[in-house]
Chains A and B, each alone.
Chain A
Amino acid sequence: MSSGLVLSVSFLYLGLLFAIAHYVDSRAGIKKILSRNPYIYTLSIAVFCTSWTFYGSVGRAATTGLDFLPIYLGPTLVFVLWSFVWIKIIRICKQHRITSIADFIASRYGKRSALGGLVTIIAVVGTTPYISLQLKSIATSFRILITSSGGLLPTQPIEPIFFIDSTLIVAIALALFAILFGTRHIDASEHHEGLVAAIAFESVVKLIAFLTVGGFVTYGVFNGFTDIFQRASVDPELADLFTVSRGSGYSLWMTMTLLSMAAIICLPRQFYITAVENVEEDYFRKATWLFPTYLLVINLFVLPIAIGGRLAFAGTPADADMFVLTVPLYYGHEFIALFAFLGGLSAATSMVIVAAIALSTMVCNDLVMPLLLRWRVLNVNKNDDLTGLLLTIRRTSIFLILVLGYGYYQFASESYSLVTIGLVSFAAAAQFAPAIIGGIFWKNATFGGALSGLLFGFLVWVYTLLLPSFAQSGWLPISFIDQGPFDLWWLKPYALFGLEGYDRLTHALFWSIGANVGAYWLVSLLSQQTAIERIQAKLFVDVFGYSENASDSRYWRGSVTTSDLQQLVGRFVGVKRVAQSFEDYSREKGIAIKKNMVVDAALLDYAEKLLAGSIGSATARVMIGSIVKGEIVGLDEVYRILDETSQVIEYSHRLEEKSTELEYATTQLQMANDRLKELDSMKDDFLSMISHEFRTPLTSLRAFGEILQDNPNVSPEERKQFLGIIVNESERLTRLIEQLLDLAKMEAGRMDWLLEEVDVPSSIKEALAALNLLLKEQNIDLTLDFPEHIPLIQADRDQLIQVMINLVSNAIKFCDQDNGKINVRVSFEKESLCVTVEDNGEGIPVSLEEKIFDRFHQSQIGGAEKPQGTGLGLAICREIISFLGGKIWAENGKDGGAKFSFTLPVPVKSSPKIRQLT
Chain B
Amino acid sequence: MKRTGRKKEWSILVFCAFLVGVFPPILFLFDKPVLIGGFPLSFLYLFGFWAVMIAFIAIGARRRLVPELATDDVTNTTAVADVSERGRSDE
- Contact residues of A with B, CB < 8 Å? 66, 69-70, 73, 76-77, 79-84, 87, 225-227, 229-230, 233, 239-240, 242-245, 250, 253-254, 257, 281-282, 284-286, 288-289, 292-293, 296, 299-300, 303, 544, 849-850, 887, 889, 891
Contacts and interface: CB of A to CB of B under 8 A. Distances in A.
B11 A80 contact: yes
Interface of B: 1, 3, 7-8, 11-12, 14-15, 18-19, 22-24, 27-28, 31-35, 37-43, 46-47, 50-51, 53-55, 57-58, 60-63, 90-91
A670 to B, nearest CB: 16
A299 B46 CA distance: 11
B22 A257 contact: yes
A471 B47 CA distance: 39
Contact of A243 (B8, B12, B33): B33
Contacts of B54: 76, 289, 292-293, 296
B47 A296 contact: yes
Contacts of A245: 31
A289 B58 contact: yes
Contacts of B1: 87, 281-282
Nearest to A280: B1
A288 B34 CA distance: 33
Given A281-B1, A289-B54, A242 B38 contact: no
B50 A76 contact: yes
Ranked 4 nearest A-B pairs via Cβ: A226-B38, A242-B40, A289-B58, A289-B57
A303 B53 contact: no
Given A83-B7, A303-B43, A243 B32 contact: yes
Contact of B63 (A73, A253, A285): A285
Contacts, number: 116
A233 to B, nearest CB: 6
B26 to A, nearest CB: 11
A208 to B, nearest CB: 20
A243 B61 contact: no
Given A84-B8, A225-B39, A242-B42, A254 B23 contact: yes
A914 B33 CA distance: 73
B43 A81 contact: no
A383 to B, nearest CB: 43
A55 B27 CA distance: 26
B31 to A, nearest CB: 5
A233 B57 CA distance: 34
Contacts of B47: 296, 299-300
Contact of A66 (B43, B51, B57): B43
B18 A82 contact: no
A244 B61 contact: no
B42 A84 contact: no
A83 B18 contact: no
B33 A229 contact: no
Given A76-B54, A84-B8, A257-B23, A289 B61 contact: yes
Given A227-B38, A285-B62, A299-B47, 8 more contacts: A80-B11, A82-B61, A226-B39, A242-B35, A250-B28, A253-B27, A254-B24, A292-B57
B7 A76 contact: no
Q: Is the interface of A mostly helix, strand, loop or mixed?
A: helix
Interface centre among A73, A82, A292 (most CB of B within 10 A): A73
15 contacts: A66-B42, A69-B46, A76-B50, A76-B57, A80-B60, A83-B3, A84-B11, A87-B1, A239-B33, A242-B41, A242-B42, A244-B27, A244-B31, A285-B61, A299-B47
A254 B7 CA distance: 27
Contact of A230 (B38, B53, B57): B38
A253 to B, nearest CB: 8
Contacts of B40: 229, 233, 242-243, 303
A77 B15 contact: yes
Given A80-B11, A84-B11, A250-B27, A889 B91 contact: yes
A240 B33 contact: yes
Nearest to B7: A83
A73 B8 contact: no
Contact of A296 (B18, B39, B50, B62): B50
B5 to A, nearest CB: 11
B91 to A, nearest CB: 5
A657 B60 CA distance: 28
Contacts of B28: 250
A3 to B, nearest CB: 38
A707 B90 CA distance: 54
Contacts of A285: 61-63
A79 B27 contact: no
A214 to B, nearest CB: 13
B11 A83 contact: yes
Contacts of A253: 23, 27
Contacts of B23: 250, 253-254, 257
Contact of B15 (A80, A244, A292): A80
Contacts of B24: 250, 254
A244 B54 CA distance: 21
Interface centre among A233, A240, A244 (most CB of B within 10 A): A244
A288 B57 contact: yes
Contacts of B8: 83-84
A66 B14 CA distance: 23
B62 to A, nearest CB: 8
B3 A544 contact: yes
Given A84-B8, A84-B11, A243 B31 contact: yes
A230 B36 CA distance: 10
Contacts of B60: 80
Contact of B42 (A87, A243, A286): A243
B61 A77 contact: no
Nearest to A282: B1
A230 B34 CA distance: 10
B46 A242 contact: no
Contacts of B62: 285
Contacts of A257: 22-23
Nearest to B23: A254
Nearest to A87: B1
B72 to A, nearest CB: 10
Contacts of A254: 23-24
B46 to A, nearest CB: 6
Given A77-B15, A242-B42, A282-B1, A229 B51 contact: no
B57 A79 contact: yes
B19 A77 contact: yes
Contacts of B43: 66, 229, 242, 303
B35 A233 contact: yes
Nearest to A246: B33
A347 B83 CA distance: 65
Nearest to B13: A80
A297 to B, nearest CB: 10
A299 B51 CA distance: 12
Contact of A80 (B14, B27, B32, B91): B14
B41 to A, nearest CB: 8
B91 A849 contact: yes
A136 to B, nearest CB: 29
